[in-house]
Chain A
Amino acid sequence: MSKTKKVDPAAAPWQGPWRKYDILKEGVIALIVVALLSVGLAGVFSSPDEKALTFQGWATSAPDNFFATTVGELAGTTESAGYGPPYNEGGDGVSVGPLNMQKLMGVRNPVNPADDFVITPLSSSQQSQETVDALKAWKDASADQQAAWATAFDDAVQATADEEGVLDLTKVEEGDYGPVPVLAKALTDMATSGAYDGVLLAQDPNGFYQMDHTKQILFMGDGSYLDDFGTVQNLQGNTWGMMNETGSYPGQAWLWLYSFWYQLPVFNAPDDADPASMTAQLSGSADALIFYIMGLLTILLVLLPFIPGVRSIPKWIPLHKLIWRDYYRSIRG
């Protein structure tokens, strides 16, 4: 019985010409060239040097917004308070169908906006007698009482907004707001003086180097200061901001595909869209959906050699024959 064996052409010994090649030499040359270019270009162009945003800057340039955001933190109506995991149980987080990775991961980095952003910082430094009394009244009150005071004052503050959303704190109606107005005013004064910057960092009990800026970013993100800066610098997600850098420096151009999805109307619903509409719901879960879309595309990229049709692109567009044209010319001739 004869046995026929298929010969794999790729396994056949190389019959063509050989040449010596020093990969270490090429690697060293590439390393030196890239290092010289990096140091040289950094010397010429420097790097983005935008001054850090501070709470002092926020409270000085937009004191009403800082005040109203502080009230929102006490009332639990800010984005941080309702974010959900990994910071708190204030919301469910984004999900795709039944899959909610935020909930699955749980609260890993607990943040209580009212305590962490307002009460603890005020308690950690010397305050006027009025503020000390307000802090005592807040701490002695039940959670329900605290919520009732803060929510009532938050509603009263937000009710002063004009058509463009600009608040006028002189028009806040009288009411039973407990210590909330005094606490919000004290925190605004503390931030205006510059004393608040650094206080949130100092709360990290484990951080010798204190590099965890989570709380600062969450609090600042609840107000308009950080958001307005992002808009001015073209860093908003719905204007390709993921690709951009501050100033005129080139940014992360390689994130064009990730950024592209955020420009689609289905992931970019206007703020006044009906919350029950499909677009608003998809936009609400855009971060999770786009994460999975990019994951799927990455898997397809990895599996490229196994996908019929796509793997044949080099046959239709034979760029490799242009690169190794001498070889292909020689085998043709």
Chain B
Amino acid sequence: MPPLISAALDNPATYFSWGWLQISVGNLIVILVMFVLFILALVLPFPGGHDDGGDGS
């Protein structure tokens, strides 16, 4: 499986263009993943639950 993926990635990239803006599909995916991770980091609760009362005081 890996050789197939890397062979496909060695092919020329597809680019999206909007006027003067141009971005490759690879970069767009990475940016969207970063954006999704940022949103998840904002909205997901901290691990360990809501122990605002404190357990070490």
A residues sitting closer than 8 Å to B (CB atoms) are: 16-20, 43-50, 232-234, 239-240, 243-251, 253, 263, 319, 322-323, 326-327, 330
Contacts and interface: CB of A to CB of B under 8 A. Distances in A.
B10 A49 contact: yes
Q: How large is the interface on B (under 10, 10 to 19, 20 to 34, 35 or more residues)?
A: 35 or more
Nearest to A241: B22
B5 A44 contact: yes
B55 A247 contact: no
Nearest to B46: A326
Given A17-B52, A319-B42, A49 B27 contact: no
Contacts of B24: 234, 243-245, 248, 250-251
Chain A contact residues: helix, strand, loop or mixed: loop
A49 B54 contact: no
A46 B10 CA distance: 10
Contact of B54 (A17, A50, A234): A17
B1 A44 contact: yes
A180 to B, nearest CB: 39
A263 B52 CA distance: 50
Contact of B20 (A17, A48, A263): A263
A23 B13 CA distance: 41
Contacts of A251: 24, 26-27
Interface in B1-57: 1-3, 5-6, 8-15, 20-27, 29-31, 41-43, 46, 50-57
